[in-house]
Structure 1
Amino acid sequence: MPLLARTIMTPLAIDVRRGAVADLAAILADGRISAGGDVAVVVGPGQAEKIVELIRPTLRSADIFTVTGGTLEAADDLGSKLRARSYDAVVGIGGGKTIDVAKYAATRRGLPMVSVATSLANDGIASPVASLITGGIKGSYGVHIPIAVIVDLDFVESGPDRYNRGGIGDVVSNISALADWELAREVRGEPVDGLAASLSRMAAEALICHPGDMSDDAFVTVLAEGLISSGLAMAVCGTSRPSSGGCHEIMHAIDAIFPGTASHGELAGLGALFCTFLRGDTVRLRQMSACLARHDLPRLPSDVGLSDEQFVEAVQFAPTTRPDRYTILEHLAMSPAQTRQRLADYAGAISDLD
């Protein structure tokens, strides 16, 4: 009897711990990624000096490139520089913008990419997607999944607490994204990948149920692994569906209309909570609201400085950010007046939960 299975691209190494950046040469060698350290190391301007100081003693053959801004132009410019000589891999060290630039440039050059995260703002650290700005608008570009994913808890601890906490909102939003995926299956017959859904759901459940906070290494490790699992879920099914639904449509809409409002994860968590309310799922609403409140993450438009009218405008615009996606927002197709009323009801429901 033939054995039916599928081959799934996953990282050769996943390492979440303190001191990982300093041990980068050993990690690359042990993973058979680069024995001699002939890699292109991509860093952001904020932490470049500290990172170079840590890796230079053991990665003497590496070339260091500093990139600024998560733009398509920066990624193309980096890609041009990577033609200078042969590299075993591209190593992106930093936050989401730096890693996305490195992912895109590495993919265009046909090089494996190692993702070394120094912050936990969103699930891009392990996803097959690069979010880059071009013409003032952020777009999503398909890229190769990182060949290795490393998270250095020392850097995470010393980074901006608000951005790291934002990653919690991004993982929690998986619950809403999966509900939207199921809705699309029921209404439009869209197939749901069970393995991808399982990886995404486990990441969110582990985080929601964990009693710790960002001062606890055990909790931060669960958060990091949750972000990685979310990225792997997207790689498994070849789409962002397991981690992106109406929640991310709202997030992208706010980013487009009111840029600079809040971080990716903060807006994803807020969008997920609102979409969960629209579905009438009171059990999930209570669980998600408690988690976001426990970690001081936004639950109302006013928490991110938006008026009700601005949020209504974003919800109305949200479906246009992903025209091919079916979520609770497309399903309800609310008018501005209906959205305004549902937002008022939502605010009352959140108040009742406190």
Structure 2
Amino acid sequence: MPLLARFVTTPLVVDVRRGALQELAAVLADQRISTSGRVAIAVGPTYGPIVQKTFEHGLVQADWFTVDGGTINTAIKLVEQIRQQRYDAVVGIGGGTVLDVTKFAAARLGLPMVAVATNLAHDGIGSPISTLDNDAGRGSYGVPAPIAVIVDLDLIAKAPPRSVRSGVGEIVSNLSAIADWEAAHVAHGEELDGLAVSLARTAAQAVLNHPGGIADEAFVTTLAEGLVLSGISMVVAGTSRPSSGACHEISHAIDLIHPTRRVFHGEQVGLGAAFAWYLRGDLAAFHTTVDCLRRHRLPVRPADLGFDLEEFGQVVAYAPQTRPGRITVLEESALTPAGIADAVAGFDDHVRKRLESDEPEAVAHAPSDDGDPGRR
């Protein structure tokens, strides 16, 4: 008998609404993740004490651990701390840094992981990847995706607005990543997963075409759900391909060669996506992306990230080295140093003209006072 279906691992629960955090104990019990509430809960230093106070009369069997920093050493330290006792699961409550550390620790311990997001800076809330700083700069580690994802819109409303806007750049960059994947499929026969593409594209289009902004609960709900779907698309594909192409190579290059100047991940990949569309010569997609970034007050020019054109050209030149073997428009273009300089100058000029064609909203410039802008 032919196999007529495939099994895809997805979260048991995706709960996006106001007050969702209050249902954590019920989710753990009802889904048989932990009927006793004997879980290890990892939190960040900022919201950790506030969240812990919320559960002072509930989840009394839980132990709390503070995650301070997003390094591989921090993750290994958390592993050693949790290993001292027996737990049913590991819960991460925080931004991307906390969740990435917690996902890695849970994977090392062989325990299911529940993700509770306190901001929407990137699609790591539901993805099978942990991005952690290491001795070589920054690395991506494959891990099991969270068994449950909770997004409490009350917590998101308290997050720095810039961190929520960052999620817009992250999700919109999916369309550029998909274009890279489809081109590699056509030109080089790279396997393409249609279901993963559909999930990633649908999530991006929902955010791109939504008329609201981060002050609009309906928009924030769509953004949160889109980021979860983006993470699931990576589970389906077994690779980050549906959401990571030239846009992410540019971001990784910034992280590696300018670690002290990196800003929110979504800010970097959003601009990277705009540059990739320009490099492909797809001006319709380029204009759509720039308009979306501008509307949500995200960086649209290298100067918005704190780089002059020469520095951004160095980033573009280094970017293909961040993902050896991955084929994107950067690799296919095979630009010479002079070609990169021309492309960067042309990109910046086209963005400038697009911005001048209407009354643009102010974009976010780096650095900012919103706190550590690393991947959260």
TM-score normalized by the length of structure 2: 0.92
Query: How many residue pairs were aligned?
Result: 354
- 2:285 paired residue number: 284
> C-alpha distance in 2, partners of 1:350/1:325?
27
The equivalences for 1:1-354 within 5 A come to: 2-135=2-135, 137-259=137-259, 260-354=261-355
**What is the Cα deviation at residue 71 of structure 1?**
0.7
Indicate conservation of the 8 Å contact 2:302/2:348, yes or no.
no
Deviations 1:2-32 (A, max 9, x none): 3421111100000011112222111222222
Deviations 1:308-345 (A, max 9, x none): 01100000000000011000000001112111111121
> C-alpha distance in 2, partners of 1:323/1:3?
34
Q: Residue 239 of structure 1 aligns to which amino acid in structure 2?
A: T
Deviations 1:101-151 (A, max 9, x none): 100010011000000000100011110000011116110000001000111
**What is the Cα deviation at residue 283 of structure 1?**
1.6
Using the TM superposition, name which of 76-85 and 324-333 deviates more: 76-85
- SS where residue 23 of structure 1 aligns? helix
> C-alpha distance in 1, partners of 2:4/2:352?
51
Q: Residue 168 of structure 2 aligns to which amino acid in structure 1?
A: I
- 2:374 paired residue number: none
Indicate conservation of the 8 Å contact 1:90/1:106, yes or no.
yes
> C-alpha distance in 2, partners of 1:152/1:237?
28
Q: Residue 350 of structure 1 aligns to which amino acid in structure 2?
A: V
Identity %: 53
Deviations 1:67-113 (A, max 9, x none): 11011111111111222222111000001111111000100110000
Contiguous gaps of at least 5 residues in structure 2: 356-376
Indicate conservation of the 8 Å contact 1:11/1:147, yes or no.
yes
Q: Residue 261 of structure 1 aligns to which amino acid in structure 2?
A: R
- SS where residue 21 of structure 1 aligns? helix
Deviations 1:25-56 (A, max 9, x none): 11222222111111100001111110001123
> C-alpha distance in 2, partners of 1:191/1:214?
36
> C-alpha distance in 2, partners of 1:67/1:137?
19
Deviations 1:216-275 (A, max 9, x none): 110001111111111000000110000000000000001111123311000000000000
> C-alpha distance in 2, partners of 1:261/1:242?
23
- SS where residue 16 of structure 1 aligns? strand
> C-alpha distance in 1, partners of 2:33/2:238?
24
Residues 136/45 of structure 1: CA separation in 2 closer, same or farther (3 Å cut): farther
RMSD: 1.0
Q: Residue 2 of structure 2 aligns to which amino acid in structure 1?
A: P
Indicate conservation of the 8 Å contact 1:10/1:232, yes or no.
yes
Q: Residue 169 of structure 2 aligns to which amino acid in structure 1?
A: G
> C-alpha distance in 1, partners of 2:288/2:238?
29
Q: Residue 284 of structure 1 aligns to which amino acid in structure 2?
A: A
Q: Residue 277 of structure 2 aligns to which amino acid in structure 1?
A: T
Indicate conservation of the 8 Å contact 1:21/1:55, yes or no.
no
> C-alpha distance in 2, partners of 1:53/1:18?
18
TM-score normalized by the length of structure 1: 0.98
Moved runs in structure 1, 4+ residues, more than 3 A?
none
Contiguous gaps of at least 5 residues in structure 1: none
Using the TM superposition, name which of 65-74 and 24-33 deviates more: 24-33
